[in-house]
């Protein structure tokens, strides 16, 4: 599709960056100066000695600097009018509304940080946060960050095994959860999942439980604590810990090509700068904005763009507890109208599914408050892009398609509102970011040719490492192509105008409704079932979800496949990883294509499944 949508003059006039090409050229001519100037927009206890200490493959930003992201997210607003302004408006599925000014949020964060301290947690300790989309999820994250406790947020849709792996690997001393939460007409229990996950984990000293659903839970006196009881007696003052810029802020687990999710570690200082500026510039954030991001803080989008960046930018963020089509597919549009949302950030999956319900739902609401729309998590097809632009944005709002990853911490390839847009393209790299599309030798490919998306230079919000697995850090990201650049795992093309078109993952990582899942992770859940000998999982293109999950399963000798067994296997995956990982299709097979060294060749299965050419099979064991 060759459409170009030009920016409206009033949008350009109101943009932080009016001339992308100029700013981009300047930023690449002197990236150190560019990032330093942005860092100066934030407050630091002590200025850095060096902007970047780059020792391949590790980049350490703002070394010698002292800061705390909470100082920028909350403390510094306490001296300004922002203190009285709403930081969050939260609406529950049942219509309950909770609001926090920056001042009130700060008090809650201080109370919670004091609870952690009273339980003996200190700088460098780790905490797991397994909470649904309620304000306490954010308060808990900020409370940890404030005193230098490293948080690991686990998405509340994950189940027992997934949670347990993250608690064990992340060495959490404490888990913060809720009794349960409403999900459409059900109640999802979280506390019982935590109980199961930590059954054999003496490392977890306490479980703090927020009351949300009011469901019955097993309460273990001594170990379990009610959030409201422990916070209410605490002081609303708590000093913010002065951290080194290179200290870890959080670990967030994400799926890769092995069964075990990787703990991506982000820093206090570099992450702060990258997250702060990318949302500000891509969404033109200004103090009067009401910003609505539909992600969950359990994912990187939520960390950077629901919690840290919006607060650093002093905007009001709206959060809806539930899903887009509950109680009806007009829910988001109704909320945008009710709260006069100006900036709206969501995922292609949601856009595609809401598009299916027809134009009437958005048309029923006054969406004229909207100024900018955003998309993240997977490639957005031009049809969905245009529908979003026309039916939601009334052709007035730029659609900002932001490409980034858990590892990058900040948006990397994304338009600014002042640039001409091509529906389906994520535009070009953000200022200060040098990207390219290369072949397997690291050589740039010609325009309109598919290749590997790489990032050539370190960037401030780059992850520090893979927790307890530096080898993985090197191998999976920095040694895949031989030119010492960051390998993203995505394939993409650049067109003749230099616009990037992201095609999707080139490894065994799936994107199902924007959720990142590893084939190996799903396979290991299947294989743990007593009937299964071997399993291979692939992603198949899906009109709404982006990808659907198909599993090929070899059963143990003597076991016969049946529909009932398929159902059982689906349940097993749900129980272990979570409902988001439920296979859509399961085929029982006798053999799987493997290399001579025994590795399953999933790409052969995928090609066969999609009726595409199988490609090079020289390493296939059984031709």
State the residues that interact with ligand WTA by CB under 6 A: 254, 299-301, 376-379, 401-406, 426, 488-490, 502, 504-505, 511, 516
Residue (74 or 380) nearer to ligand WTA, CB: 380
What is the phi/psi pair of residue 263, to 5°?
A: -85, 105
Least distance CB 501 / ligand WTA (angstroms): 9
Map tokens 């949508």 to a residue: 5
Residue (391 or 516) nearer to ligand WTA, CB: 516
Least distance CB 483 / ligand WTA (angstroms): 19
Least distance CB 565 / ligand WTA (angstroms): 32
Residue (337 or 436) nearer to ligand WTA, CB: 436
Residue (182 or 377) nearer to ligand WTA, CB: 377
Beta-strand ranges (E) seen in 123-234 are: 126-130, 150-153, 174-178, 180-183, 186-189, 206-210, 224-226
Backbone dihedral region for residue 531 (phi beyond 0: left; psi -120 to 50: alpha; all else: beta): alpha
List, as one string, the DSSP characters of 330-374.
THHHHHHHHHT-SEEEE-HHHHHHHHHT-THHHHTS--TT--EEE
Number of H helices and E strands in the chain, helices first, is 20, 30
Least distance CB 379 / ligand WTA (angstroms): 4
Contact 291, 318 (CB under 8 A): yes
Residue (269 or 379) nearer to ligand WTA, CB: 379
Least distance CB 275 / ligand WTA (angstroms): 12
Residue (68 or 254) nearer to ligand WTA, CB: 254
Least distance CB 488 / ligand WTA (angstroms): 6
Residue 196 burial (CB count, 10 A): 15
Q: How many angstroms separate the CA atoms of 436 and 427, rounded?
A: 13
Least distance CB 516 / ligand WTA (angstroms): 4
Residue (15 or 375) nearer to ligand WTA, CB: 375
Contact 250, 280 (CB under 8 A): no
- Chain residue whose CB lies nearest ligand WTA: 406
Residue (265 or 502) nearer to ligand WTA, CB: 502
Cis peptide before 46 (omega within 30 of 0): no
Q: How many angstroms separate the CA atoms of 360 and 329, rounded?
A: 10
120: part of which helix (H) or strand (E)? none
Residue (34 or 404) nearer to ligand WTA, CB: 404
Beta-strand ranges (E) seen in 168-310 are: 174-178, 180-183, 186-189, 206-210, 224-226, 243-244, 248-254, 262-267, 290-293
Give 207's strand partners.
175, 224
Q: How many angstroms separate the CA atoms of 620 and 592, rounded?
A: 10
Least distance CB 300 / ligand WTA (angstroms): 5
Residue (183 or 299) nearer to ligand WTA, CB: 299
Least distance CB 503 / ligand WTA (angstroms): 8
In 3D, which of 282, 287, 292, 293 has the Cα closest to residue 419?
A: 282
Least distance CB 181 / ligand WTA (angstroms): 22
Q: How many angstroms separate the CA atoms of 109 and 316, rounded?
A: 17
């Amino acid at each position: 599709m060759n459409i170009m949508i030009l920016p409206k003059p009033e949008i350009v006039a109101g943009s932080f960056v009016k001339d992308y090409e100029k700013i981009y050229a300047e930023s690449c001519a002197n990236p150190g100066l560019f990032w330093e100037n942005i860092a100066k927009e934030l407050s630091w206890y002590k200025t850095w000695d060096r902007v970047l200490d780059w020792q391949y493959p590790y980049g350490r930003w703002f070394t010698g600097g002292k800061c705390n992201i909470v100082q920028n997210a909350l403390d510094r607003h306490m001296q300004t009018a922002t203190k009285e302004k709403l930081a969050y408006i939260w609406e529950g599925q049942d219509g309950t509304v909770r609001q926090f000014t920056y001042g009130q949020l700060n008090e809650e964060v201080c109370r919670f940080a004091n609870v952690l301290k009273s339980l003996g947690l200190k700088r460098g300790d780790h905490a797991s946060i397994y909470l649904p989309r309620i304000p306490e999820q954010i308060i808990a994250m900020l409370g940890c960050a404030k005193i230098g406790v490293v948080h690991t947020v686990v998405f509340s849709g994950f189940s027992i095994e997934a949670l347990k792996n993250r608690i064990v690997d992340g060495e959490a001393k404490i888990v913060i959860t809720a009794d349960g939460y409403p999900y459409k007409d059900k109640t999802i229990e979280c506390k019982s999942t935590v109980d199961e996950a930590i059954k054999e984990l003496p490392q977890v000293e306490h479980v703090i439980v927020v009351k949300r659903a009011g469901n019955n839970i097993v309460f273990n006196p001594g170990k379990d604590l009610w959030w409201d009881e422990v916070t209410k007696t605490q002081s609303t003052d708590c000093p913010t810990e002065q951290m080194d810029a290179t200290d870890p802020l959080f670990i967030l687990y994400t799926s890769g090509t092995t069964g075990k999710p990787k703990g991506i570690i982000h820093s206090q200082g570099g992450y702060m700068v990258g997250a702060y500026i990318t949302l500000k510039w891509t969404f033109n954030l200004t103090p009067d904005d009401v910003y609505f991001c539909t992600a969950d803080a359990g994912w990187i989008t939520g960390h950077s763009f629901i919690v840290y960046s919006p607060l650093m930018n002093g905007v009001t963020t709206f959060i809806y507890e539930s899903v887009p089509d509950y109680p009806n597919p007009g829910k988001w549009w109704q909320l945008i109208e009710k709260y006069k949302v100006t900036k709206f950030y969501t995922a292609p999956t949601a856009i595609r599914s809401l598009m299916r319900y027809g134009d009437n739902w958005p048309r029923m609401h006054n969406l004229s408050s909207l100024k900018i729309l955003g998309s993240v998590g997977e490639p957005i097809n031009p049809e969905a892009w245009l529908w979003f632009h026309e039916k939601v944005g009334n052709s007035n709002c730029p659609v900002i398609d932001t490409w980034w990853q858990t590892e990058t911490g900040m948006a990397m390839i994304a338009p600014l509102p002042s640039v001409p847009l091509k529906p389906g393209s994520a535009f070009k790299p953000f200022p200060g970011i040098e990207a390219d599309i290369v072949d397997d030798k690291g050589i740039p490919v010609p325009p309109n040719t598919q290749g590997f998306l790489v990032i050539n230079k370190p960037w401030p919000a780059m992850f520090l490492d893979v927790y307890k697995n530096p080898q993985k850090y090197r191998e999976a990201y920095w040694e895949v192509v031989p030119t010492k650049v960051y390998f993203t795992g995505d394939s993409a093309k650049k067109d003749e105008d230099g616009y990037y078109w992201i095609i999707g993952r080139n490894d065994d990582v799936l994107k199902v409704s924007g959720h990142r899942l590893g084939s190996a992770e799903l396979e290991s859940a299947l294989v743990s079932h007593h009937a299964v000998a071997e399993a291979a999982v692939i992603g198949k293109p899906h009109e709404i979800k982006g990808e659907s999950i198909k599993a090929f399963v070899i059963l143990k000798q003597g076991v016969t496949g049946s529909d009932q067994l398929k159902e059982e296997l689906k349940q097993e995956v749900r129980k272990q990883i979570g409902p988001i990982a439920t296979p859509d299709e399961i085929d029982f097979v006798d053999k799987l294509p493997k290399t001579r060294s025994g590795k399953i060749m999933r790409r052969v299965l995928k090609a066969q499944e999609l009726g595409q050419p199988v490609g090079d099979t020289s390493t296939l064991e059984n031709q």
